[in-house]
Chain A
Amino acid sequence: MTGHYDVIIIGTGAGGGTLAYRLAASGKRILLLERGDYVPREKDNWDSLASQVKGKYQTKEVWYDRKGKELHPHTNYWVGGNTKFYGAALFRLREQDFGEIRHHGGVSPAWPITYDELEPYYTKAEQLYHVHGERGGDPTEPWASAPYPHPPVSHEPRIQELHDDLAKCGLRPFHVPLGIMLDEQNPRRSRCIRCSTCDGYPCLVWAKSDAQVVCVDPALEHPNVTLITSSYVSRLETSPSGREVTKVHVGRNGGTEVYSADLVVVSAGAINSAALLLRSANDCHPRGLANGSDVVGRHYMGHVNSVVLAISKQPNPTVFQKTLALNDYYFASDEWEYPMGHISFVGKFDANILSAGAPPIVPGMTLDLIAKHSLDFWLTSEDLPDPDNRVTVTKDEKIMLNYKPNNEEGHKRLIAKLKSLMNSLGCEHHLIPRNLFVGERVPLAGVAHQNGTIRFGDDPKASALDRNCKAHELDNLYVVDGSFFPSSGAVNPALTIMANALRVGDHILERLR
């Protein structure tokens, strides 16, 4: 099969899916290439053993770490990309994140665009992805031109109690902005049923605002938009001058197909997009496409993340836990002169999830008992763009992820802060006597927040993409996943990727006129 299109978009996640929706009504011929298929709708979608422990929906692909050891990435190749499995926490970066910020471990560099330039697209992305939230609650939130389209998702009693305890201590907990299609006023008719299988699971009732449900499927209602699934893009070929991508080579059904387009947009995730450009090296681009600066694959960031369980005597019967967050330590504060990070929750753990890599536990406490009493926190700190933290491709075209954690002091302090809060807040009367506090760093294989590997900037010597996310060295190649981030901030990158895709979409539409 072959064909020529106005635009080819490689990948259907937060970046590619959103861009497809933005371009769909233009009437231009758009081809979406997705290496995966649709997530099958089946009971295992919501089975923690199948979905979380056995990793039924994760890729079986093998990558390598910097020591050459096999790495089984926790990533998902499906229509909608990793948004099918995300927790739908849709945060804006802070206004200051677009400037230079000094951390304990170094400097987080400035972006070539300001928050003000991205703000209108954040607003549209929040509307497109049905975000529920409340302006004014988050002490670090940036200005916004419109309210959230829907009210915040309420806290269940245990989380409300924690909220009140934190507030009594002078902190400012707030409602997590969530992209779910929930109507709490009318639960009987609500598409979302507010279940415990949201964060980390595909939504069986399609009530999570993921890229497939919200963008890809509506885009496909336009006759000018085509999706081909199970299509792995192996390389991009350029014209003899090297200035244009002329062929997109696709592995499908055991064979090779070739497509072409006036514009080619790569959005395969920050790791796979970089790998694709590196695999596509040719005489004009010996270090990989768009890589005269040698930054492609470098500056990999994925956040310094930890899951921390606080176990109290008081049960935590919360079903939908991911409603509360704390940003009091996001920037430098009276507590410390450098940023620490962001505290929120993961979806409620059950015994099955805890059984995977279970930490040593107090004798006599079963995993089920722990799960019934735990508050399951998610802590994120910013990691910094180190050029040696990089994606490379081996001779047999396997992905190698060379990553050494950095900027860890702030994260350690954030964990210590949470521990002291949990011990000293109004919680102490219901913490178990020897408070069991279990913390686990998310391993390298957890690549959900991947970004930074094809950074944008104004200087072609130090960046691969210009401020419109077009390759400096090619006239028709764009990248719209998290690769373009020069710095990562410390909140989930999904909404920023969506907003940027809308911004780039406007640029592309102007160009296609």
Chain B
Amino acid sequence: MVFVSFMDEFPWYLDEAVLLVPLDVGRWAVISGGKPELRRRIAAELRALSHRRAGARTREPILTLDAA
């Protein structure tokens, strides 16, 4: 099982296997658990959500992967 946590504080203490995707100012996604390949694929998908200009909203599905 892969877990994705969205945080508004930088996660200072992370295990090596955990992936971190900076989404925006003060917004972070932490991806843990599951297989490394799946974590990497989810990280790549989450990067597509990053660096949004203020007010921008996405209408596409956030994740197209079956994270389970």
Residues of A that sit less than 8 Å from B by CB: 21-22, 25, 124, 127-128, 130, 145-146, 149-151, 181-183, 185-186, 189-192, 205-207, 213-214, 217-218, 221
Contact = CB atoms under 8 A, between A and B. Distances in A.
Contacts of B20: 127, 146, 149
B51 A183 contact: yes
A183 B50 contact: yes
Contact of A124 (B12, B21, B25, B53): B12
A21 B20 CA distance: 18
16 contacts: A124-B10, A124-B12, A127-B22, A130-B51, A149-B20, A150-B22, A151-B47, A181-B50, A183-B48, A191-B24, A206-B25, A213-B25, A217-B25, A218-B25, A218-B26, A221-B26
Given A150-B47, A183-B48, A190 B53 contact: yes
A21 B25 CA distance: 12
Contacts of A127: 10, 20, 22, 28
B9 interface: yes
Contacts of A25: 9
Contacts of A191: 24, 51-54, 56
Contacts of B12: 22, 124
A182 B51 contact: yes
B5 interface: no
Q: How large is the interface on B (under 10, 10 to 19, 20 to 34, 35 or more residues)?
A: 20 to 34
A192 B26 CA distance: 16
Interface string B1-44: 00000000110100010001110111010000000000000000
Nearest to A131: B22
A392 B48 CA distance: 50
Contacts of A185: 48
B58 interface: yes
Contacts of A130: 22, 50-51
Contact of B10 (A21, A206, A221): A21
Contacts of B54: 191
B22 A145 contact: no
A186 B57 CA distance: 12
Contact of B53 (A146, A189, A214, A217): A189
Contacts of A181: 24-25, 50-51
A506 to B, nearest CB: 8
A192 B22 contact: no
A97 B34 CA distance: 38
A198 to B, nearest CB: 14
Identify which of B9, B26, B48, B50 gathers the most chain A CB atoms within 10 Å of its CB. B50
Given A181-B50, A191-B51, A205-B53, A149 B25 contact: no
B22 A189 contact: no
Contacts of A182: 51
A287 to B, nearest CB: 38
Nearest to B60: A186
Contacts of B53: 189-191, 205, 207
B21 to A, nearest CB: 7
B52 A189 contact: yes
A192 B51 contact: yes
A358 B30 CA distance: 50
A191 B48 CA distance: 12
A214 B51 CA distance: 12
A492 B36 CA distance: 34
Nearest to A149: B22
Given A151-B47, A189-B56, A214-B25, 9 more contacts: A124-B10, A124-B12, A181-B50, A181-B51, A183-B47, A189-B58, A191-B56, A192-B51, A207-B51
A150 B25 contact: no
Contacts of A214: 25
A128 B22 contact: yes
Nearest to B10: A128
A213 B26 CA distance: 9
Nearest to A181: B51
Contacts of A145: 16
B51 A190 contact: yes
Nearest to B44: A151
A470 to B, nearest CB: 21
A150 B50 contact: yes
Contacts of A149: 20-22
The 4 nearest A-B residue pairs measured at CB: A181-B51, A218-B26, A189-B56, A183-B51
A130 B50 CA distance: 10
Nearest to B47: A150
Nearest to A146: B20
B29 to A, nearest CB: 10
A205 B57 CA distance: 17
B12 to A, nearest CB: 7
A205 B54 CA distance: 9
A124 to B, nearest CB: 7
A186 B12 CA distance: 29
A150 B22 CA distance: 8
